Amino acid sequence: MRLPLIDEHRSDAGCGSGGCGCAGTSGAQPVASRPGMTRRSFLRTTAGATGGLAALAASLSPLRELTGDGFSMQQFLQKHYKEMTESDMNKALDRIRAQVEQRYELRPEIRDIKPLDGVEFVYALNLSRCIGCRKCVHACVAENNQSRDPEMQYIRVIEMPRGTTDIEQGDHHYDRPTVPDESHYYMPVQCHQCANPPCVKVCPVEATWQEADGIVVVDYDWCIGCRYCEAACPYWARRFNFTTPSIPRDKLNLNMSYLSNRPRPKGVMEKCHFCLHRTRQGRMPACLEVCPTGSRKFGNVLDPDSEVREVLRTKRVFVLKEDVGTLPRFFYYFDERDPLRNISVEGAGS
């Protein structure tokens, strides 16, 4: 009841005094202060609205990529790997199969291979034999469907000066006409599948974990790409997909598994997984099979007759950065005699 009265009072007082500056009728007042729609304001509003819409569209346009090959609503609603039932996993595998078929026009053989009972994988590498040819690096790229441009490499071969194990003195960009070089030795580094993995501890979403056979795996559908694990790894073993991986159609390896070498989207981490799609079916990893020198040894450390067990029993073995306490499953060893050059240890330092 009071409000209209106040309004009347104000309007009467305002115009009756003549001091408000609105000399004309009250109906003309909006024209003077708020001129409604003129040609200029129409153009301004239209330009503003168009510009605003364009800016909105431009700012949202990256979202359009979500409807591409990297995303589906089913994937978005998918459960964590450890909570998936068999039918959930089959649905996920069907989706991945369809995505690969759509993108590459090839039908992949994709499965979810579980760890074997009574198996713990261990890798051993003979530094006396490695010649630094980098065949392992590129066999790995071919086997695991890594991006070719930019090329992603899981294995990093470090050229080390003889007489030291200080990695600060090593170089992984060496590009000699021929290897091995007389004054260096070669140390390939890849994921060590640590028993105490720092990368797993830092993952905020549990997208990476250690399986029963010791392999540390990544679920590419669960990874948010924060790269904490890359920072946590003391062995530079993890890689990030800064762009959509580019794999030529004729180079795609169709033998895939969910946790290993299926094509990855942009923005997720990946790393060496001991070729689990091969090794969980009893085969050797690709890096081992291609090694021309037999420097690489792989097997089940729980089997007393395995080659790796024999290496651990009879060779002088060390792990990289033992002091950081990661308990790697990747061991380096030396032979008693240098087979490459017959140089004594004293001769190397001079």
Partner 1 sequence: MTPEAAPSSPKNRGAALNEVIASICGPLLLLLALWFVLGAAPTAPVPDAATPVVRAADIDPAPRFQRMTDPASTLIAGIRQRCNDCHALADLSRNTGEPLVQHANIMLNHGLNDRCLNCHDRADRSKLVGLHGGKLPYADVEQLCAQCHGPIYNDWKLGTHGKTLGYWNAGLGQPNRLVCTECHNPHAPAYEPIRPLPGPHTLRMGSPDPEVATHISEQRNPLIRWQDEEHGTAPQNSEQDYTEGGAH
By rule CB under 8 A, what count of residues binds partner 1? 98
Q: 3-class DSSP state for residue 314?
A: helix
- 36: phi > 0 → left, psi -120 to 50 → alpha, else beta; which? left
Strands 156-161 and 109-111: unpaired
Span near partner 1 by CB under 8 A; candidates 77-85, 154-162, 214-222, 321-329: 154-162
Dihedral sign, Cα of residue 68, residue 74, residue 76, residue 80: negative
74 is a site residue for partner 1 (CB under 8 A): no
The only residue of 149, 224, 231, 316 in contact with partner 1, by rule CB under 8 A: 149
Name residue 240's beta-bridge partners. Answer: 269
Per the CB < 8 A criterion, the answer to whether 100 and 106 are in contact is yes
Span near partner 1 by CB under 8 A; candidates 73-81, 193-201, 308-316, 320-328: 308-316
Minimum distance from residue 348 beta carbon to partner 1 (Å): 10
CA distance 174 to 289: 23
8 is a site residue for partner 1 (CB under 8 A): no
Residues numbered 109 to 148 that lie near partner 1 (CB under 8 A) are 119, 126, 131-135, 137-139, 141-142, 148
Residues numbered 174 to 203 that lie near partner 1 (CB under 8 A) are 174-180, 183-184
Strands 330-334 and 121-126: parallel
Span near partner 1 by CB under 8 A; candidates 78-86, 254-262, 305-313, 322-330: 305-313
Cis peptide before 150 (omega within 30 of 0): yes
Residues numbered 281 to 300 that lie near partner 1 (CB under 8 A) are 281-284, 286, 288-294, 297-300
Minimum distance from residue 89 beta carbon to partner 1 (Å): 22
238 is a site residue for partner 1 (CB under 8 A): no
In a 10 Å sphere around its CB, with 0-12 CB exposed, 13-18 middle and 19+ buried, how is residue 43 labelled?
A: exposed
Is residue 39 within a helix (H) or strand (E), and if so which, with residue range?
helix 39-60
Give whichever of 110 and 141 is closer to partner 1, judged by the CB atom.
141
Span near partner 1 by CB under 8 A; candidates 76-84, 196-204, 253-261, 280-288: 280-288
Dihedral sign, Cα of residue 241, residue 242, residue 243, residue 246: negative
Alpha-carbon separation of residue 347 from 88, 126, 165, 255, 343 (angstroms)? 62, 21, 16, 48, 6
318 is a site residue for partner 1 (CB under 8 A): no
67 is a site residue for partner 1 (CB under 8 A): yes
Give whichever of 57 and 195 is closer to partner 1, judged by the CB atom.
57
Give whichever of 152 and 272 is closer to partner 1, judged by the CB atom.
152
334 is a site residue for partner 1 (CB under 8 A): no
Minimum distance from residue 206 beta carbon to partner 1 (Å): 28
